[in-house]
Structure 1
Amino acid sequence: MSMMKIFNVAGSAVSAQSQRLNTVATNLANADTVAGPDGQSFKARQVMFQTVAMGDQGAAGVKVSQVIEDQTPGRRVHDPKHPQADADGYVTYSNVNAVEEMVNMMAASRSYQNNVEVMNTAKTLLLKTLQMGSGS
């Protein structure tokens, strides 16, 4: 695999994981929000990845194919004094599970870091190869 393909594959993964991290951050920011005036609460979002061919030599990268909303119902808490409570006294919160989102964030962060390390290693090897060719 050529050095440029290594950068392309790792770069595609860094870009995809960056979008995943942004989605997780949005989910965590809305973890304790309540239903808005329309009665709908925030729905957690998940990033879906897709393999992408990178040239004709079998290299494959990744891209975000879509961002989907989790359709599980939000958490309902009985609090009749809350201003957003419904007629039965329940407040509907978002369906974001903070623990799952933290695990998702750690996995995305590690994947991001690993791909940056791949690019740094490829850069170092490329520079050492150029130094050998120059005779220094």
Structure 2
Amino acid sequence: MNAIEISRTGLEVEWRRLEVIAQNLANASSTLDATGQPYHAMRLISGPAASFADVLAGRADQSGLRGVAVYSIEAQNLPPRRVYEPSHPQADLDGYVTYPGFDHAAEMALMVKTSRSYEANIVAMNSARQMYTKALEIGRRG
């Protein structure tokens, strides 16, 4: 696998992570999801596409590099946030509405970190492209 393909896998994973973060932020004020259950913030789990054991055993491709992959998208186990809103149609008998319990500031910080990782993969991809182009130019001269 070449450097451009590895960066491409990084772009795909970070894009998916941004989608999950955007979904969490969009549902910050949701009381229920589409199935009628309380909304739980989600988190994308990712890591190397080839396991260390596969690389050592020679089961990975020739370079042992396969980039990164999404392992799963899992619900976070966070306690819900209860807000006193007695006039809300979904308030309980005590007047409280249950919202997803996640930290908005931490979610925004993760979004910035993820967008920086996305940008870093673009820079790496462009650098690899420039190196391949330069190698072709050198090969034509020789």
Which category describes the TM-score, using the shorter chain as reference length?
Answer: 0.7 to 0.9
13-22 or 91-100, larger mean C-alpha shift: 91-100
Within the candidate set 5, 27, 31, 2:28 is matched to 31
Secondary structure at the aligned position of 2:89 is classed as coil
Aligned residues: 133
Aligned to 1:57: 63
Q: Which residue does the alignment assign to 2:113? A: 107
Change (3 A) 1:85 1:39: farther
Residue-by-residue CA offset, 1:34-75 (whole Å, 9 max, x unaligned):
236976321100000131126232324110000000122210
Instruction: State the match for 1:75 in structure 2.
Output: 81
Q: Choose the corresponding residue for 2:2, options 2, 5, 10.
A: 5
Unpaired segments of 5 or more residues in structure 1?
none
Q: Evaluate the alpha carbon distance shift between residue 38 and residue 60 of structure 1 in structure 2; reply closer, same or farther with a 3 A threshold.
A: closer
C-alpha deviation, 1:84, in angstroms: 1.2
Which residue number in structure 1 is paired with residue 55 of structure 2?
Answer: none
Give matches, 1:89-128, under 5 Å.
Answer: 89-128=95-134
TM-score by length of 2: 0.83
1:59 and 1:37 map into 2 onto residues whose CA distance is 39
Q: Is the 8 A contact 2:40 2:75 kept in 1?
A: yes
TM norm structure 1: 0.87
Superposed displacement of residue 83, structure 1: 1.4
Runs of 5+ in structure 2 lacking a partner? 51-59
Alignment RMSD:
2.1
